[in-house]
Structure 1
Amino acid sequence: MTTQTHQTTQTQRATGMREAFVHTLADALDRDDRVALVLAAISADRFTDQLRRHPNRVVDVGIREQAMIGVAAGLALTGHRTVVHSYAPFLVERPYEQIKLDLGHQGVGAILVSIGASHDDPATGRTHQAPADVTLLDALPGWTIHVPGHGDEVAPLLTAALATDDRVYLRLSTRQNTTPMPAAPGFTPLRHGGLGVVIAVGPVLDQVLAATEGLDVTVLYTNTIRPFDRTGLRAAVDSSAPAVVVVEPYLRDTSAAEVATTLRDLPHRQLNLGTRRDSELRAYGTPEQHDAVHGLDAAGIAVSVRDFLRVG
């Protein structure tokens, strides 16, 4: 791939999920006085009109991420449906205590919308990477977690979240699949086979489909990983000797306990793929190179799945 082609591809990807989020939320802010937005400098330039038109409901607190969550909780306590937006590490990791207390402990909801994912923009370094974000939020009760795999999945997921008062995390990425899938709870079956079940979460679907091409496996897709679709997994497995592979675009083993709980009455085997836990990657490179290091490219997934299923 030439540099020019690579840059064009990255630009096309970058206008997907994030732009869908901005467009959908801007429209909601103009139509619904209940909707509010809190920013910490990131993406403020994309909501200039809304900052001007709705100064009481669109707030940029500057580079103060803990305050961002506190302000969001305060707006929620006054009856607003608050959306909070930033890079994943600034949205989840840095203000984690405020998420736990100001939202969870007070029993109020908000929609956290992140960009950056695990390693979307390696040029910015480790400060802008958050492979543990889903794992951290999964440790707190009551969170719905969406991991869309295509820009067209963002609007329906965000619109549905705005209609509730729940605590929702919407994890956006510049990486996206070729084709959008239904934005609905639970697993969407894409292939059926007898050797095992492979679950693809969000933007790893294309790699999973390529990696399992020609294998006798069931492939399930989801853009809503919490709550975990236990009924859907039970329906998909071969109850005699289930083998399950979960491919997630964040920290490996994040959903291991969910699979184990779902199949706790059945002898089963499971393999969990995602970003590595054993070492930290201290390199820039490209997103595709990071995928390869973590075994999340199609070739790496194929090797892991074939070895796990003992397929030559």
Structure 2
Amino acid sequence: MTGFALLTATQQPAPTPPDQRERFYALLPELLASDPRAVALLADIGAGYVDAGPAVADRVINVGIREQLLVSAAGGLALTGMRPIVHTFAPFLVERPYEQVKLDLGHQDVGALLVSAGASYDMAGAGETHFGPRDVALLDTLDGWTVHVPGHADEAQAQLRAALPGDDRVYVRLSGASNARPYGTGPGMTVLRRGNRGTVVAVGPLADRTLAAVEDLDVTVLYAPTVRPFDAATLRSTLSEPDVVLVEPYLAGTSVRRVAEALPDVRHRVLGLGVGTAELRRYGSPADHDAAHGLDADGIRRSVTRFLS
């Protein structure tokens, strides 16, 4: 057979992991059907992808491109006993309606399940208006939030199902990036490997590239699909050398304070890797932004090696 190369099993391209956002849209009707209190609130984003069906269609509300109203309506519905599932892109869900998140949910002490898409720069071609690296840091200024950062669609699905029955405030940060397989759904960290020269905490979709970056380094790697509450107990119990590297897919240094709070009696060093504050004015692709922020495997390796040496 001229011109053809038969791929062996080991040469076959790896299957593409399922998309987290698509999984959420497919799961949403099931979530609504499973709980009569559940109501989905959209701001145009996703409205064309949700096939709710007649049984739950009256509990899918599209408020249009009005993100402050989106969150305020969630607060009002929560006051009546409903369980709002609120969805749009990350900067439109946390940054633009921050006052409503603070007052209409937090100050009124009601719960909602906020589900974002787009992560830090999934929609690179849309530019700064659609970039959301500050979301977790902003929620850190408020009380009582659980924050999930799934690294695989299976993890996101499990976290969404677990979060629906409650009345607390939960944020699920969906990303277009993904690990090849699920590592755990939280809330605690999972030990991916053990070492003696320090600890690297890989958050959500950055686990695979972090493992590749430190493949031949003598370090412990912890996987965190849930970042709030921060799993201090696992960090402490697996600590070898008191050197900790955080690899987070949002604003660099967001969880540095949490490490300090976890190790108040241990002299330690901590390096927070993540998205920098400098605005990158060339749109590029998500991979270009990863490289520019040092969040590709090569960049993570350079930073970890420099820090530990």
What is the TM-score normalised by the length of structure 2? 0.93
CA distance in 2, matches of 1:182, 1:275: 24
1:276 corresponds in structure 2 to: 276
Secondary structure of the residue that 1:245 maps to in structure 2? strand
CA distance in 1, matches of 2:301, 2:31: 42
Secondary structure of the residue that 1:45 maps to in structure 2? coil
1:6 corresponds in structure 2 to: none
Q: What is the correspondence of 1:135-284 to structure 2 with a 5 Å cutoff? A: 135-238=137-240, 241-277=241-277, 279-284=278-283
Secondary structure of the residue that 2:280 maps to in structure 1? coil
CA distance in 1, matches of 2:34, 2:293: 43
- Give 1:245's aligned amino acid: V
Secondary structure of the residue that 2:270 maps to in structure 1? strand
CA distance in 2, matches of 1:53, 1:282: 46
Deviation at 1:135, TM superposition (A): 0.4
- Give 2:68's aligned amino acid: Q
CA distance in 1, matches of 2:186, 2:229: 12
Secondary structure of the residue that 2:110 maps to in structure 1? coil
Secondary structure of the residue that 1:44 maps to in structure 2? coil
Question: Residue deviations 1:179-226, cap 9 Å, x none?
Answer: 111212111001100000000000001110010001100000010000
Is the 2:52–2:60 Cα contact (8 Å) retained in structure 1?
Answer: no
Deviation at 1:20, TM superposition (A): 1.4
What is the TM-score normalised by the length of structure 1? 0.92
Deviation at 1:48, TM superposition (A): 4.2
Is the 2:29–2:56 Cα contact (8 Å) retained in structure 1?
Answer: no
In angstroms, what is the RMSD of aligned CA positions?
1.5
Picking from 56, 59, 65, the partner of 1:57 is 59
Matched residues, percent identical?
A: 54
Question: Residue deviations 1:283-306, cap 9 Å, x none?
Answer: 111111100000000000000000
Deviation at 1:79, TM superposition (A): 1.0
Aligned residue-pair number: 296
- Residue 292 (structure 2) pairs with residue 293 (structure 1): yes
Q: What is the correspondence of 1:110-125 to structure 2 with a 5 Å cutoff? A: 110-125=112-127
1:107 corresponds in structure 2 to: 109
Picking from 8, 16, 33, the partner of 2:36 is 33
Deviation at 1:56, TM superposition (A): 4.0
CA distance in 2, matches of 1:43, 1:205: 27
1:4 corresponds in structure 2 to: none
**Structure 2 residues without counterparts, runs of 5 or longer:** 1-12
- Give 2:279's aligned amino acid: E
Is the 2:63–2:69 Cα contact (8 Å) retained in structure 1?
Answer: yes
Secondary structure of the residue that 1:280 maps to in structure 2? coil
Q: Which has the higher helix share?
A: 1
After TM superposition, the runs of 4+ consecutive aligned structure 1 residues lying more than 3 A away are 52-56
Deviation at 1:12, TM superposition (A): 5.1
**Structure 1 residues without counterparts, runs of 5 or longer:** 1-8
Deviation at 1:47, TM superposition (A): 2.0
Secondary structure of the residue that 2:222 maps to in structure 1? strand
Deviation at 1:263, TM superposition (A): 1.1
Picking from 58, 68, 71, the partner of 2:70 is 68
Question: Residue deviations 1:218-274, cap 9 Å, x none?
Answer: 000010000000111100112xx4000000000001000000111121111111100
- Give 1:31's aligned amino acid: S
CA distance in 1, matches of 2:265, 2:110: 36
